[in-house]
Amino acid sequence: MEKLRVLVNEIAYSRDHTKLSNLQRSLIPVLSFASSLYRLALSFRHCFYHFGLFRKHRLPVPVISVGNLTWGGNGKTPMVEFIARWLSDSGISPLILTRGYAGGDEARMLERHLFGTPAKIGVGANRAAIAACCFERYGYIDPRSSCDHKLCLDKNVESQLNSEKIGAVILDDGMQHWSLQRDLEIVMVNGLMLWGNRQLLPLGPLREPLTALRRADVAVIHHSDLVSEQNLKDVELMMRDVKESLPIFYTRMTPSHFFEVANINSELPLEALSDAIILCVSAIGSANAFVNAMEKIGASYVDRLDFSDHHVFQATDVEMIIRRLGELEEKFGSQPVIVVTEKDYDRDSEILKRLHPFKVLALCSVLQILSHKGCTENGFRKLLEELLRVNLAGPNKS
């Protein structure tokens, strides 16, 4: 199954089918047919919601959706954490609703990062039902009702400083979750991979046609530090061809430190691996950015083993990793270090411990909003606040 996922991913991001293998080219008619069925199902689903045949739930607090148009590697989870901290610092207790895909690695990472804040996390496919349970457990307070019917985002306002009562919902991976109405739609775009062949799943990486960008209030180009200025301009033009007034911001993941998989409380500086032999092992949506970060810390040599996004490591994978480690140790005469991402750690930390006696470290990174073309982190926060105020004063978004 893992090999098939890799083959399909290569097809999705290939513009020249002549460079594909014979096996991949033989899969294209099947994938194309499946993509047509997906498009049809998507159209029916949209119509059912549009005409009220499928119910849309309205939550009693503001809802911020963080989503994307493609599969994996778009920076949704780091952005969810960023917004949760912003709301918490503003005196509003956020509830994060996530589906908990593939074992809930993202939910576990968010729980660890947001420990000590008033943020709460609800996990489950039926996010309306999960929200209802959380409202019943913690209570809720609508920020619109306590500040003269305007959204209150002021950490000095006493009425908002109730760490138990939920004041806003963040919908993780929410762009295609149409059953919940939202007040603000943020779309994350992977600057390194974009939209591939621009085909719908499974022939291409798109969950929806690019025209869905018209629903967005804000677009964020992730990994923009690894994209050339010309390519950034091309991406901006593509998005503004769909929605001319779309505000665009730029983010990157900034490495901060490592911790040992065997001891999560440890903290090692990035310089600890300078001159080291490193094997990057990851099952994330954008492994190139992860490997690039490792190459920049001054390692002597960086090798990589990439798995598909959310892949759950098996015993055979451990054997493969150990074989690669042995090859590296024989080649360079010193023991290599395995580096994984936090998501890989949270997916299954126990299986990574089977790589003993090799040292296994997890890289910790934080989302940074870059100052680019007049767009800054402070400007991003202000725009979110203003958009929430405007949208809450007008008709609800679908």
**354 and 241 housed in the same domain:** no
Tell me whether residue 241 is exposed, middle or buried, using C-beta atoms within 10 angstroms of its C-beta: 0 to 12, 13 to 18, 19 or more: exposed
**154 and 126 housed in the same domain:** yes
> For residues 398 and 392, what is the distance between their CA atoms, to the nearest angstrom?
13
Per-10-residue mean pLDDT of the chain, 398 residues long, equals 88 90 96 98 96 94 96 92 95 93 82 95 95 96 61 53 82 95 96 93 96 97 96 95 97 97 96 96 93 94 94 94 97 97 94 95 97 93 90 64
**229 and 278 housed in the same domain:** no
Q: By residue range, what is the domain housing residue 270?
A: 254-366
Sign of CA dihedral 331, 312, 293, 73: positive
Residue 146's pLDDT is 57
**302 and 386 housed in the same domain:** no
Triad 289, 322, 347: Cα angle to 5°:
55
**86 and 180 housed in the same domain:** yes
Residue 396's pLDDT is 57
Does residue 227 sit within a domain?
yes
The DSSP string of 100-162 is: -GGGTHHHHHHHHHTTTSS-EEEESS-HHHHHHHHHHHH-B--GGGTTTTS----TT-GGG--
- CATH number reported for the structural domain that contains residue 179 in this entry: 3.40.50.300
**115 and 243 housed in the same domain:** yes
Does residue 22 sit within a domain?
no
User: Number of folded domains in the chain?
Assistant: 2
- CATH number reported for the structural domain that contains residue 311 in this entry: 3.40.50
**381 and 359 housed in the same domain:** no
Residue 151's pLDDT is 60
Residue 103's pLDDT is 61
**155 and 135 housed in the same domain:** yes
**124 and 266 housed in the same domain:** no
pTM for this one? Answer: 0.94
Residue 1's pLDDT is 78
**99 and 164 housed in the same domain:** yes
> For residues 331 and 334, what is the distance between their CA atoms, to the nearest angstrom?
8
Distance (Å) of CA 189 to CA 230, 235, 371, 377: 16, 9, 17, 17
Extract the runs of DSSP E, i.e. beta strands, from the chain. 63-68, 94-98, 120-123, 168-172, 184-190, 218-222, 248-260, 263-268, 277-282, 301-306, 337-341, 360-369
Residue 6's pLDDT is 87
**228 and 263 housed in the same domain:** no
**214 and 334 housed in the same domain:** no
